Structure 1
Amino acid sequence: MNNLQFFITCWQKELKRTMVALKALPSDMSRLQYRPHEKSRSAIEIIGHILPHAEDLLKAVDTMEIAEHNRTFDSIAEACEYYQTNSQLLMSKLQLVDEQLWENGMVLLTADGIILYEGIMMNLFWDLLFDTIHHRGQLTTYYRAMGAPNPSVYGPTAEGMESFMAAAILKSKTRK
């Protein structure tokens, strides 16, 4: 497995985890205005920052520019569909990328038309995947404060363990 194939595999795994996190958000969009501190992004701002990464990378395969942008969503369902669709298109497009381009092609990272950085395609693509994971982790610290159970992204949460233990206790009582 080369680096590009590994990236595709990792994106697909993290896509599933991000979808779990998105689907666990409160459907009441007003609750996504929550931010733990005035300098922190709100939950909806985090979503609007990380979900466009898939679309930005999809376009960058052709343009060699990651034009980072934020996006707003009217519903969690819309956000999920947008991210799922762009991720699937990105995975299909990356299957056609030449390994030489992946390992040596120079890509610009821009925001609002300003060049922030220029780097090798694979490095910038990995950076945006890691940025998604990083901010998704931040987002998961918001759930309980927003009145939602914390999603199980990499393993059980407190809520998951409570349910598991309750079921185990009930099962052990019925065996007696």
Structure 2
Amino acid sequence: MTSATPAAASTSAAPGALQTLLAAMEREHATTVRVLRAFPADRLDLQPHPKSKPARDLAWLFVQEQGLVEKAITTGFDWSAPPSAPPPMPETLDEIVDAFEAAHGRVMAVVRGMSDEDLRQTVQFFVAPKTLGDIPKIDFLWFLLHDQIHHRGQFSVYLRMADARVPSIYGPTADEPWF
């Protein structure tokens, strides 16, 4: 019996930093959409603890983070001015997911057009509490992608608490066994 390893299975060169990032962003976005769509639309007010966000607010956070990404890679942040008011949160889960899909599409269009030089440029963002620092845009993109994954994990707990089916994220779940 033979087993092909990923390295042995490919004879082409490894993808570049941008291609690796784009593939991860698309893959994780699709998984996040599956998790969001699995949530029962009539349970958006679920709030597991007084310090936790209601499900609607947590779902909307995915859209807001895409807005952060878009601003960071296009105009950057103006920390000398108060932040502009966020767009109003939609009432329904479908509208929230649609807004997430649209925002992701805008971000991906910009990222696909970025050069290696663009990715090395910096954006000012928080590097510690109340401390701004310069972060290469590629690092900022990875940071926000990891934050999306973190919040998706939170949202998967909300799914279980809402007695909804938890889809496969990185492996089987009690609701989606792999074998």
TM interval, shorter chain, is 0.7 to 0.9
Query: 1:96 maps to what in 2?
Result: 113
1:2 corresponding residue in structure 2: 16
* Deviation per residue, 1:140-168 (Å, 9 max, x gap): 0111221312222223211223xx88xxx
Aligned AA for 1:123? Answer: D
Superposition deviation, residue 71 in structure 1: 5.7
Contact 1:53 1:128 in 2 (8 A): yes
User: Is 1:74 aligned to 2:95, yes or no?
Assistant: no
Residue of structure 2 equivalent to 1:24: 38
RMSD of the TM alignment (CA)? 2.5
SS in 1 for 2:44: helix
Shift of 1:40: 1.9
Q: Aligned residue for 1:133?
A: 149
Instruction: Report the CA distance between 1:49 and its aligned residue.
Output: 1.6
Residues 24-173 of structure 1 mapped to structure 2, 5 A cutoff: 24-28=38-42, 31-65=43-77, 72-103=89-120, 105-109=121-125, 116-161=132-177
SS of corresponding position for 1:73: coil
User: Residues 68-92 of structure 1: CA distance to partner in whole angstroms, max 9, x if unpaired?
Assistant: 9686221111112111111122112
More helix by proportion, 1 or 2? 1
Local SS of the residue matching 2:105:
helix
Q: Identity percentage over the alignment? A: 27
Task: Report the Cα distance in structure 2 between the residues aligned to 1:132 and 1:89, rounded to whole angstroms.
Answer: 16
Aligned length: 157
Q: Structure 1 residues 26, 124: closer, same or farther in 2, change over 3 A?
A: same
Give unmatched runs, 5+ long, in structure 1.
Answer: 166-176
Cα contact 2:44–2:93 (8 A) shared by 1: no
Could you tell me which amino acid in structure 2 is paired with residue 89 of structure 1? Answer: R
Aligned partner of 2:3 in structure 1 is none
Structure 1 distance, partners of 2:96, 2:131, is 27
Contact 1:11 1:129 in 2 (8 A): yes
| Gapped regions of structure 2 (runs ≥ 5) | 1-14
Query: Could you tell me how far apart the structure 2 residues matched to 1:64 and 1:3 are?
Result: 21
Normalized against structure 2, the TM-score is what? 0.76
Q: 1:151 to 1:124 in 2, by over 3 A?
A: same
Q: Which whole-Å CA distance do the structure 2 matches of 1:65 and 1:11 have between them?
A: 22
**Aligned-partner residue type, residue 172 of structure 2:** P
The farther-off stretch of 75-84 and 38-47 is 38-47
Residues of 1 paired with 2:133 and 2:19: CA distance?
24
TM-score by length of structure 1 reads: 0.77
